[in-house]
Structure 1
Amino acid sequence: MRSINLSRRSFLSGAAAASALGVMALSGCAPQAEPAKEVAETGTAPKEVVETIDTDLLIVGLGGSGLACAVQAALDDTNCLVIEKNAESGGNALGVEGMFAINSSMQKAAGIEEITPAEVIAAQMEMLQYRPNGAEWVEFCESSAANIDWCLEQGVEYNGTVDNYYTGLLHTFHWFKEGSCSKGYVPQMTKRAEELGVEVRYNTTANELILDDSGAVCGLYAIGQDGEILINAKAVILATGGFCGNPDIIKRQGWNTDDMVCLGLNGTGDGFNMATAVGAIDDLANASQSICPTIPAFPVTDYKADPYNPINGLGGIATGGPIMWVNETGDRFVREDTTSVMAPSSASIATKRNAATYCVFDQNIYDTFFGTTPEAQAMFEESITSDNGYSLYSSNDLADLAQHFDMDPENFKNAVARYNESCKAGADKDFLKDPSLLIPVEQPPFYIGRMSYVFYFATGGLKVDKFQRVWDIDKQPIPGLYAIGNEGNNHYASVYTINIPGTAFGHQVNSGRVAAQQAAKYINS
């Protein structure tokens, strides 16, 4: 698995950061702490505690959802502490561009016609085969306009544009200032949290939840700069960013992580691992991911500067369209234009169960669709030369293509011949691919690329209800435990749709606010 760091910057001044690191112990008392069940059963004692902190509410993570949660908690006068494993706020949210809402003040000002929650929910539920909880979508949609106004009140800045994010079904995408959460949301919300007196301890990593005798979460152990910390809390909210930076969890979903590029290094599965250790449902089967196919030979796509690069961008060689896909046995297995009829991630999902997946094309297909500019041609030529046949190979002989990647040459040639018959007939007799994309593979040189993936972020893994309470294996809330943001997002159920733009980050804000309010009720009950 290859890992790429997103560029990040600190939004705290030196003085403010020093103040945040010097968190003082807070008043309040959580139930008597006991080690989490798994630790107790294995007989492994916690490390020596060098510090004990008491608080009412503990928020783990200060990314997009953690910031919304912390600000809402402070506005509600909830005694809270935030711990963040990095040296700054923002996390994976720094790469976000905007957020969802319907019927917001910004949409009305732009003259966008009213959008009903039912329009949004029907589009999502139909694509997802009615697997998500529709009640959660209703609450989310009905709160979305108020979330925009709330963000504006906290100082968040948008650029004034509301659109469909290039290809979405509806104009629901509210762009942040300069098209980036790092410019319009994170610094403003970090500043607002500071103004409200939110106490933050940076460079502090949560590693084990604590249960009391009744099975309620009452705090956790964390690792700080000076060692093990015990934090007693009446409720814990996990805002840890998901698991997109944890190859072991990704493998458990069934993905091949060989040569996978991960762009969300902050999401290392901390919340998932801690919650499942104390009895939370492992809901990885329904977790979704923003993931695109690639060929390792190509450079990682710059989706900010050049998202539609014909070689490695959206619509590039690995994403399907006019090329042919085969699996490890050399058989064609799906229509290659899945992204035109389903979500962008569907191209990757269609290949997930294969031991290996290859894209096959000829010189005519390359010239017509991919090598369309001198820059594209230069990228391709450099890639195939430097790759040296590892993941991208060319030959004048189809049998040689197959043998290079250990496929049966006769079976592969038969598959190409069958595909070419469909192309020449103008009708895909196997999978009904769009006839305009049926281009025969017949003009040498021929090319074959072994596909891998670029993994952007994951949602879900834990099962939550509409109050963001984490469920146990009996589908009951674990008292005192909440998950928000990517960790606590069950909206998509296996497929990250993106047909309604901005919903993932819209959920970051909404779930953070909801969990802060619900945790306050629980603490005071």
Structure 2
Amino acid sequence: MNELDKRQGDENVQEKTGLSRRSFIAAAGFTTMGFMAASLAGCSPKENIQDVQAGANDAAAAQEDEHVTYDPAEVVDADVVVVGAGPAGIGAVMEALDRGAKVVLIEKTAQLGGMAYGTEGVFGYGSKMQTDAQVELPTVLDVIEEELTYTNYRVDANLWRDFVSQSGETIDWLMEHGIEFDRVDTYQGASFFESFHWWPGGSGSSFAPIVTEYLDGREGLTVFLETTGKDLVVENGEVIGVYAEKDDGTIVQVNGKGVIVATGGFSQDKELMTELSGIDWSTSGGFVTPATGDGYRMMKKAGAATGTVCFINTMCVQTPTGAQDMVPINIATNYQCLPMINQIGERFMAEDTFAKYFAMLTLNAMSTQKKTWTLIDQNSIDRLENQGIDYGFVKYQKGDKLEGLLGELEEFAGTDNVKKGETVEDIASEIGVDAVILQATIDRWNGFCETGVDEDFGAGAEILHPIGDGPYYAVHPDRFISATIGGIKVDRQNRVLDETGEPISGLFSAGVDSCCLYKETYNIQLSGGMQAYNFYSGRNSVREILGESK
């Protein structure tokens, strides 16, 4: 999930697709999900986040009760049961229908598509688009070696080979089903080969209307919208179905040969994120989405083993009015490679790590410190407001002027994460560091600016702008979460594993609920990889259920 400005879903899917409801079962039809219109870019009330977190906590508490019983008002039988209608779930549904299976899809929101609207494109290796564009590709082994090295060989090379080898065919398959792509390139130079297949206009907002229209009226498909998966139906150690609750409170039991859980992770459950990662997410910003961890808890209750977790995340500035995201104070703090200091008052990393490797590795470096601050002086403010920024991010392009930066710094000065001081001694006092150490750090930085060589961390000469006189501002960067990746262990066939490493019969998981490609850090250098895995894992699960795995 790369671009963070593609946040709003389709305003009226029914209007754009002419959707009828002859094949869909829901109390209210396809409508815009409220979360699509809201982010935490200083415009979403804190109450929204708290409400979602409270809902996640309530769901967790309810599922901790091992003695919950359900009285289904309806029982439906199918070959394949899919919980979650994001890209992974939709990939599973279309694959199952292609193979003539009877499918039931359960989705807790009022429309299909999930978080596809917030993405820009999909990774692919060997697609027809690449062939037509005469793209020169490395070998599959070269791609795999890059990923194995990135994860210190702590991932399954066979899984990577399966995934990469089939990713181009997945792009072709999506296009055969009416999904559109604009072009293929290196995603603004982030990918190490031309593998990024762009959605039209660089926005996945077209995905939901297209798949909605494609699936409408399909023989063998039943869809329950505004229906939440509550628990798995387990008999003699085998998962044979799922209990789900409709918006009117009634329970439906859906039975099948296999259940695929693809519920989009748990980015709204800060406590669970902290527990599984060891990183404190309590103050982080993020999208308000339906990803409250329903699937994770269902699978854990059925005996699933916990897997490693990583995150698709960038950075924000937390203020009393909310998380500041696509605004000048955040672009300056987190995306212009200004001097960064720790709780002692010393530098601790090459500040251009973001420019070289995107935000995830910057966040890793920040996590090694107790607290970090970006130091902004008057010279930097003048340069960014009047001359333009050095590095673009999402809607901001290189050279854009950060008009209003000083105003935002002044607005939030004196709050927990934004401090101001007229002198070095003042700003040191405000952030609780030794003024002598901070002055020495500034002097050393300015010396590197004179020589053009950062002897401590090797930051590029292009970011070495001298720190001048005050006033000074110190701004604390925080995380902005887009999605969680992983949490449940699966094998190469996307079968959910128990604590002994054995598959739980009948239970499969696709997408971010269980992706184990990346370990602790998502690799942006294979841009669109997570989205590609969503589709791949959904299809792969179906092949295994129907006995037709590749």
Q: Quick one: distance in 2 between partners of 1:106 and 1:282?
A: 38
1:287 aligns with 2:280: no
Name the counterpart of 1:32.
none
Q: Pick from 453, 466, 470: which aligns with 2:479?
A: 453
Residues 310 and 370, structure 1, Cα contact 8 Å, conserved in 2: no
Q: Quick one: distance in 1 between partners of 2:279 and 2:18?
A: 41
1:82 aligns with 2:86: no
Give the Å deviation of 1:47. 4.8
* Identity over aligned pairs, percent: 27
1:241 aligns with 2:264: yes
Q: Pick from 195, 216, 240: which aligns with 1:194?
A: 216
TM-score, normalised with respect to structure 2: 0.81
1:404 aligns with 2:406: no
1:152 aligns with 2:175: yes
Give the direction of change, closer, same or farther, for the CA distance of 1:455–1:379 in structure 2 (3 Å limit). Answer: farther
Residues 317 and 329, structure 2, Cα contact 8 Å, conserved in 1: no
Name the counterpart of 1:166.
188
1:472 aligns with 2:472: no
Residues 421 and 430, structure 2, Cα contact 8 Å, conserved in 1: no
| SS in structure 2 at match of 1:231 | strand
Name the counterpart of 1:21.
25
Structural mapping, 1:316-335, within 5 Å: 316-319=332-335, 321=337, 323-335=338-350
Worse overlay, 465-474 or 122-131: 122-131
Name the counterpart of 2:50.
none
Give the Å deviation of 1:270. 1.8
Q: Pick from 294, 298, 311: which aligns with 1:274?
A: 298
Name the counterpart of 2:363.
348
| SS in structure 2 at match of 1:378 | coil
Structural mapping, 1:115-514, within 5 Å: 115-159=138-182, 161-167=183-189, 168-183=191-206, 185-197=207-219, 198-213=221-236, 215-227=237-249, 228-252=251-275, 253-263=277-287, 265-283=289-307, 286-296=308-318, 300-302=324-326, 312-313=330-331, 316-319=332-335, 321=337, 323-369=338-384, 372-373=387-388, 376-390=401-415, 391-424=417-450, 426-514=452-540
Give the Å deviation of 1:164. 0.7
Worse overlay, 257-266 or 419-428: 419-428
Q: Quick one: distance in 2 between partners of 1:164 and 1:4?
A: 19
Give the Å deviation of 1:99. 1.0
Q: Quick one: distance in 2 between partners of 1:299 and 1:43?
A: 37
- Write the letter of the residue equivalent to 1:463: K
Q: Quick one: distance in 2 between partners of 1:148 and 1:195?
A: 24
Give the direction of change, closer, same or farther, for the CA distance of 1:40–1:264 in structure 2 (3 Å limit). Answer: closer
Aligned length: 493
Give the Å deviation of 1:55. 2.8
Give the direction of change, closer, same or farther, for the CA distance of 1:355–1:320 in structure 2 (3 Å limit). Answer: farther
Worse overlay, 414-423 or 126-135: 414-423
Name the counterpart of 1:91.
114
Give the Å deviation of 1:166. 0.3
Residues 343 and 498, structure 1, Cα contact 8 Å, conserved in 2: yes
Give the Å deviation of 1:70. 0.3
Q: Quick one: distance in 1 between partners of 2:19 and 2:447?
A: 70
Name the counterpart of 2:38.
none
Q: Quick one: distance in 2 between partners of 1:139 and 1:235?
A: 21
Residues 316 and 323, structure 2, Cα contact 8 Å, conserved in 1: no
Give the Å deviation of 1:422. 4.6
CA deviation string 1:399-421 (max 9, x = no partner): 22132233444444444445445
CA deviation string 1:232-262 (max 9, x = no partner): 3331101111222222222222333354221
Worse overlay, 100-109 or 418-427: 418-427
Give the direction of change, closer, same or farther, for the CA distance of 1:189–1:415 in structure 2 (3 Å limit). Answer: same
Q: Quick one: distance in 2 between partners of 1:398 and 1:451?
A: 20
Give the Å deviation of 1:69. 0.6
Give the Å deviation of 1:292. 1.4
Worse overlay, 513-522 or 335-344: 335-344
CA deviation string 1:342-374 (max 9, x = no partner): 343111121124342211132223333565359
Cα RMSD, aligned residues only: 3.0
- Write the letter of the residue equivalent to 1:176: W
| SS in structure 2 at match of 1:158 | coil
Q: Quick one: distance in 2 between partners of 1:343 and 1:504?
A: 16
Q: Quick one: distance in 1 between partners of 2:137 and 2:401?
A: 42
Q: Quick one: distance in 1 between partners of 2:483 and 2:73?
A: 34
CA deviation string 1:43-87 (max 9, x = no partner): 533254433333332100111111111011111122221100000
- Write the letter of the residue equivalent to 2:233: I
Q: Quick one: distance in 2 between partners of 1:85 and 1:5?
A: 22
Name the counterpart of 1:305.
none
Q: Quick one: distance in 1 between partners of 2:497 and 2:386?
A: 50
| SS in structure 2 at match of 1:93 | helix
- Write the letter of the residue equivalent to 1:11: V
Residues 19 and 213, structure 2, Cα contact 8 Å, conserved in 1: no
Q: Quick one: distance in 1 between partners of 2:421 and 2:504?
A: 58
TM-score, normalised with respect to structure 1: 0.85
Give the Å deviation of 1:272. 1.6
Structural mapping, 1:64-75, within 5 Å: 64-75=87-98
Q: Quick one: distance in 1 between partners of 2:346 and 2:401?
A: 29
Name the counterpart of 2:44.
none
CA deviation string 1:462-516 (max 9, x = no partner): 2222211122222222211111112232121111111122211111111111111
Residues 384 and 402, structure 2, Cα contact 8 Å, conserved in 1: no
Provide runs of 4+ in structure 1 moved above 6 Å: 38-41
Give the direction of change, closer, same or farther, for the CA distance of 1:18–1:452 in structure 2 (3 Å limit). Answer: farther
In structure 2, stretches of 5+ residues that fail to align are: 28-60, 389-398
Q: Quick one: distance in 2 between partners of 1:210 and 1:402?
A: 59
Name the counterpart of 2:544.
518
Q: Quick one: distance in 2 between partners of 1:409 and 1:287?
A: 39
Residues 292 and 319, structure 1, Cα contact 8 Å, conserved in 2: no
CA deviation string 1:153-177 (max 9, x = no partner): 1111222x11111022111111122
Residues 181 and 199, structure 2, Cα contact 8 Å, conserved in 1: yes
| SS in structure 2 at match of 1:250 | helix
Give the direction of change, closer, same or farther, for the CA distance of 1:320–1:462 in structure 2 (3 Å limit). Answer: farther
Residues 343 and 497, structure 1, Cα contact 8 Å, conserved in 2: no
Q: Quick one: distance in 1 between partners of 2:434 and 2:70?
A: 55
Q: Quick one: distance in 2 between partners of 1:128 and 1:39?
A: 36
Worse overlay, 72-81 or 107-116: 107-116
CA deviation string 1:136-164 (max 9, x = no partner): 111112112211221121111222x1111
Residues 84 and 105, structure 2, Cα contact 8 Å, conserved in 1: yes
